[in-house]
Amino acid sequence: MKRNIVIATVAAAALIGGGTVAAYAAGGDDSAPTQRQSSVKVADDRDDSADDTADDRDDDVTEIRTNAATAKVTAADAIAAALKHTPGTAVAADLDDDGVDGWEVTVVKGDGTEHDVKVSASDGKVLGDRRDDDDDDDAREDLAALKGATVDAREAAAAVAAKGTVTDVDLDDDGPAAWSVDSTKGEWKVDLKTGKVTQDHDDRDGHEDDGDDD
């Protein structure tokens, strides 16, 4: 009875641990222990999942950069067009990574409502304006973070344009508030008051700053 319990316990350990386990069953006081090998192995797909995630991220970056290369309307121009159609404060602009059909510019109006304005990447025409009721709290937080700022989203995009085609502009308020701008040559921070451009330390692409920050 005890022998069966030992074998069952070791077999269970083999299933959980995922490896080769030697099981010894006592056959009696004078008999030598019997060694049994269990080659049960549990497959671990975590490495494959991590590789797939990295590949998907690389594919997204490649697609966005391809779209940026074919877009005729810059981020700064898209923001200007969106604000002309929907007056307010632009807090983000993103080049659609599903195609080159447009920019999505996030505008917070004076009443605190947030609007997603779609702007054509080919001719700068406004394609639509949708109010986003789910993000009104975020919109008010963005306005509070921008209080006292002298550099707006359009100016931040224009400042980074010298460092590659801009694909994304967003307000980063995790630390000292700043504009976070992605380009085809890296990721950058733009100071809200001075407009100084610096390399983002969290830039995953590992691009080096070209030193042309002024």
Joined together, the tokens standing for residue 122 give 């080919």
63, pLDDT greater than 80: no
Q: Which of 53-62, 76-85, 94-103, 170-179 has the highest mean pLDDT?
A: 76-85
pTM: 0.65
Mean pLDDT for the chain overall: 75
Comparing 64 with 171, the larger pLDDT belongs to 171
Q: What local confidence, expressed as pLDDT, does residue 191 receive?
A: 97
- Asked whether 112 and 136 are in contact (CB, 8 A), the reply is yes
* Phi/psi of residue 18, nearest 5 degrees: 70, 65
For the chain, the DSSP string reads -HHHHHHHHHHHHHHHHTS-EEEEE---SSSPPEEEEE-------HHHHHHHHHHHHHHHHHHHHHHHHH-SS-HHHHHHHHHHHS-SEEEEEEE-TT-SS-EEEEEE-TTS-EEEEEE-TTT--EEEEEEEGGGHHHHHHHHHHTTT----HHHHHHHHGGGS-EEEEEEE-SSS-EEEEEETTEEEEEETTT--EEE-TT-TT-PPP-S---
Residue 55: HSE in the Cβ half-sphere, 13 Å Cα cutoff: 6
Predicted confidence (pLDDT) per residue in 151-166, tens digit: 999 999 999 999 999 9
* 75 touches 166 (CB < 8 A): yes
Alpha-carbon gap, residue 55 to 50, rounded angstroms: 9
At 13-29, the pLDDT tens digits run 444 444 444 433 444 44
